[in-house]
Structure 1
C-alpha cells in the first residue's frame, strides 16, 4: 500500500469513528444499507480535490 493510500485509509477511519462515537444525528436519519450518490452543480468551472477520500468511504 502506498503512503498516500495508507493516509487516506487512516483519515477515513478516524473521521468515521469520530462521527459514530458522538452519535452523528444526520447519519441516524438514514438506514445503514442505503447507498446514495451525489451530483455537484456549479455556476463556474472549478477543480474538485479530495475525491480519493470520497471513494474510500
Structure 2
C-alpha cells in the first residue's frame, strides 16, 4: 500500500502545480512527447484594458 500512497501524492502535487499555472494565465499542452507551457499572447482587448489601468 505504500506504493499507492506515493503515487497518489505525486498525482496530487502535479494537479496542484497545474492549478497554479492555470491562475497565471498560461496554456499547458500535455502530449505523448511531454508537457509544454506557454504564455497567452496579449490581444488588442487586453492591451487596451491594461492601458486604462483596469
TM over 0.5: no
Give the helix-richer structure, 1 or 2. 2
Which entry has the higher C-alpha Rg, 1 or 2?
2
TM (norm. structure 2) is 0.42
TM-score (normalised: structure 1): 0.40
Q: Which has the higher strand share?
A: 2
